């Protein structure tokens, strides 16, 4: 006897249809799974066998062959358990032959026949709808996630037995309705720029960064408020729109970090990995590839505190995503791509001891130590940090002042207005000045005669690289957008150049 059941495998961000074909023939009892399964699928044999027995169903004592097709898709993880079990039951005549045709089935089985949640269900549900399925049968913890896909029924199931009874037509299962709310898995507590005293020029730089999606490096002694300032940037970013929310939720689902029964991710991420993080943890990858921190920061902020402490490998993998907005992971037989369009915020001390230029304490580092420390970042990455800003220690009178600072809500209004101007102008993958292509740059950052002269002098004086020059133009475009100006003015260029303090210092 034969049976075919539809399931799905997540490859990168997308899900591909997988057919689970079972053939039961006479012969000595055997249970074979073919179709390039990895060890996880061999383990799934044991779970399927035990799960069927625990559900008061018969595990056939014949020669069972299960084929997962197509064979050339690398399958991983336990998400095929449910489809394999249903396929075996259908092939052994315990279910009507076409009962499962309308559905895509995914879920891990426990030895007692319960269903456990799996990763990537939102992507699987989107693929099921594209394949014309009526619905998807998933472990109940995954149902809320699948329900976000319109025109597709998301059927929650707790046990294998429930799915069998449903397919036999003896147990109705109601589709789950989408719920609207859900928070980012790594939630930042409510923070506001109003808490930060002084540091006007740093706040201004962060406002420009938020408005144009520019990357920032903050340099200052310990305790000067770098971490505090970085954490507040998410509070001035505009709301996620629905497409961005769905894309982020897919990433979190594929990464396996979405909470059970969670709704869509609604808040812009703020990810702050420690400098000991591995390259795969940061960029994504591993033996069962998953998105890394840079993809979890998609549409939000990636904060790298103590930047020079990150390994050289980790800093190098940042370069491609900073240009392309995505990361490519190469494997022997496939190449995966994860989205990774984030705003990079980085912080560092000015020197190893942290007190170079500090009004409160003298620096104890040698010139060679300072150079070696800064060189750890490397020119190519430094070029991509559009805004470099010094964060000095607060003077006593500022620290003790009781004057209140501007709240984040007011800054966010200005950021949103500037973003609207950019959206109307730029269409495509990135609607921020920070992500302009060179053609867009050419078109939208044309300078007048006087401005061109000014920039020529600046390039000569500062020795700006071609990439740094482009970045200055993009930042000045954002500064003009914040002011509501169509043309880039001299003052916009001057402010943008002033944000390259490391370039300036390396000169002296
Ligand atoms: N501008 C500021 N306004 C108010 N508090 C500040 C300011 N700068 C620093 N602080 C206080 O100092 C603490 C340490 O700041 P932090 O951001 O950790 O410094 P850094 O990251 O530069 O070492 C903060 O938690 C905050 O309480
Ligand atoms: Mg800090």
CATH number at residue 6: 3.30.230.10
**Ligand 1 site-directed mutation target among 202, 228, 403, most atoms within 8 Å of CB:** 228
**Is residue 434 domain-shared with residue 489, that is, in the same domain?**
yes
Q: Does residue 306 belong to any structural domain of this protein?
A: yes
- Radius of gyration for the alpha carbons in the chain, expressed in angstroms and rounded: 27
84: which 2 tokens? 């394999």
**Is residue 198 domain-shared with residue 59, that is, in the same domain?**
no
Instruction: Give 85-143 pLDDT, tens digit per residue.
Output: 999 999 999 999 889 999 999 999 999 999 999 999 999 999 999 999 999 999 999 99
Cβ count within 10 A of residue 426:
18
In this model, does residue 186 exceed pLDDT 60? no
**Is residue 115 domain-shared with residue 235, that is, in the same domain?**
no
The number of the ligand 1 atom at minimal distance from the alpha carbon of 198 is 1
**Is residue 160 domain-shared with residue 200, that is, in the same domain?**
no
Please, which pLDDT band fits residue 360 given cuts at 50, 70 and 90?
A: confident
Which residue range is the domain that position 64 belongs to?
Answer: 2-168
- % of the chain surpassing 70 pLDDT: 95
Give the pLDDT of residue 187: 47
Compute the distance from residue 295 Cα to the ligand 1 centre, in Å: 28
Q: For residues 86 and 84, give the distance between their C-alpha atoms in angstroms, rounded to a whole number.
A: 6
Mean pLDDT of all residues in 16-34: 93
Nearest CA to ligand 1 atom 11: 225
**Is residue 268 domain-shared with residue 132, that is, in the same domain?**
no
Compute the distance from residue 146 Cα to the ligand 2 centre, in Å: 39
Nearest CA to ligand 1 atom 7: 225
Q: Does residue 69 belong to any structural domain of this protein?
A: yes
Mean of the per-residue pLDDT values for the chain?
89
Give the pLDDT of residue 374: 85
Which listed ligand is nearest to 226 at the C-alpha?
1
Compute the distance from residue 501 Cα to the ligand 1 centre, in Å: 21
**Is residue 222 domain-shared with residue 76, that is, in the same domain?**
no
Look at residue 216 and give its three-state secondary structure. strand
Compute the distance from residue 305 Cα to the ligand 2 centre, in Å: 6
What residues contact 184, with CB distance under 8 A and at least 6 apart? 265, 266, 267, 268, 269, 270, 300
**Is residue 315 domain-shared with residue 229, that is, in the same domain?**
yes
Compute the distance from residue 249 Cα to the ligand 1 centre, in Å: 32
Give the pLDDT of residue 182: 46
Give the pLDDT of residue 180: 54
User: Looking at 77-81, 320-324, 332-336, 476-480, which range is the least confident one?
Assistant: 332-336
- H helix or E strand, kind and range, residue 453: helix 449-462
**Is residue 380 domain-shared with residue 484, that is, in the same domain?**
yes
Give the pLDDT of residue 371: 86
User: Looking at 171-185, 201-215, 468-482, which range is the least confident one?
Assistant: 171-185
Please, which pLDDT band fits residue 230 given cuts at 50, 70 and 90?
A: very high
Answer whether the bond into residue 202 is a cis peptide, omega within 30°: no
**Is residue 304 domain-shared with residue 440, that is, in the same domain?**
yes
Q: Does residue 174 belong to any structural domain of this protein?
A: no
Residue ending a domain, among 151, 168, 185, is 168
**Is residue 302 domain-shared with residue 406, that is, in the same domain?**
yes
Residue ending a domain, among 168, 185, 214, is 168
**Is residue 21 domain-shared with residue 58, that is, in the same domain?**
yes
Question: Who lines ligand 1 at CB under 6 A?
Answer: 196-199, 220, 222-228, 394
Instruction: Give 238-248 pLDDT, tens digit per residue.
Output: 988 888 999 99
In this model, does residue 410 exceed pLDDT 50? yes
Nearest CA to ligand 1 atom 15: 225
Report how many domains make up the chain.
2
């Amino acid at each position: 006897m034969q049976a075919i059941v539809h399931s799905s495998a997540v490859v990168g961000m997308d899900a591909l249809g997988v057919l689970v074909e079972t053939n039961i023939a006479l012969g000595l009892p055997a249970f074979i799974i073919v179709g390039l399964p990895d060890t996880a699928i061999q383990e799934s044999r044991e779970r399927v066998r035990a799960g069927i027995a625990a559900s008061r169903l018969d595990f056939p004592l014949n020669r069972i062959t299960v084929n997962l097709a197509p064979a050339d898709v690398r399958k991983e993880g336990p998400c095929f358990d449910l489809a394999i079990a249903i396929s075996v039951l259908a092939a052994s005549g315990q279910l009507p032959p076409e009962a499962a045709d309308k559905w895509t089935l995914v879920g891990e089985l426990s030895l007692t026949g319960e269903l456990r949640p799996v990763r990537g269900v939102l992507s699987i549900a989107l693929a099921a709808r594209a394949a014309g399925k009526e619905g998807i049968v998933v472990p109940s913890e995954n149902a809320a996630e699948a329900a976000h896909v319109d025109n597709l029924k998301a059927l929650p199931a707790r046990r294998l037995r429930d799915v069998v009874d449903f397919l036999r037509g003896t147990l109705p299962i109601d589709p789950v309705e989408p719920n609207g709310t859900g928070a980012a898995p790594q939630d930042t507590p409510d923070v506001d720029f109003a808490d930060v005293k002084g540091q006007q020029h740093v706040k201004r730089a962060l406002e420009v960064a938020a408005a144009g999606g520019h990357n920032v490096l903050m340099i200052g002694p310990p305790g000067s408020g770098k971490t505090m300032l970085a954490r507040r940037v998410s509070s001035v970013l505009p709301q996620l729109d629905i497409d961005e929310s769905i894309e982020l939720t897919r990433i979190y689902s594929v990464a396996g970090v979405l909470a059970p029964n969670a709704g869509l991710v609604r808040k812009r991420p703020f990810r702050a990995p420690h400098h000991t993080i591995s390259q795969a943890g940061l960029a994504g990858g591993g033996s069962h590839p998953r998105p890394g921190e840079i993809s979890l920061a998609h549409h939000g902020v990636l904060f790298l505190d103590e930047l020079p402490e990150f390994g050289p490998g980790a800093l190098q993998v940042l370069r491609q995503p900073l240009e392309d907005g995505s990361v490519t992971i190469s494997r022997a037989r496939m190449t995966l791509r994860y989205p990774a369009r984030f705003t990079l915020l980085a912080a560092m001390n000015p020197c190893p001891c942290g007190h170079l230029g500090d009004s409160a304490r003298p620096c104890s580092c040698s010139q060679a130590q300072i150079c070696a420390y800064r060189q750890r970042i490397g020119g190519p990455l430094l070029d991509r940090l559009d805004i470099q800003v010094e964060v000095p220690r607060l003077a006593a009178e500022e620290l003790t002042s009781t004057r209140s600072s501007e709240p984040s809500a007011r800054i966010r209004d200005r950021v949103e207005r500037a973003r609207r101007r950019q959206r109307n102008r730029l269409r495509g993958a990135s609607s921020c000045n920070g992500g302009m292509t060179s053609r867009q740059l050419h078109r939208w950052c044309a300078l007048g005669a006087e401005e061109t002269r000014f920039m020529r002098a600046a390039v000569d004086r500062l020795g700006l690289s071609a990439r740094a020059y482009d970045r200055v133009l993009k930042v000045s475009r954002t500064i003009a957008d914040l002011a509501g100006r169509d043309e880039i003015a001299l003052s916009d260029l001057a402010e943008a150049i002033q944000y390259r303090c490391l370039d300036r210092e390396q000169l002296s």
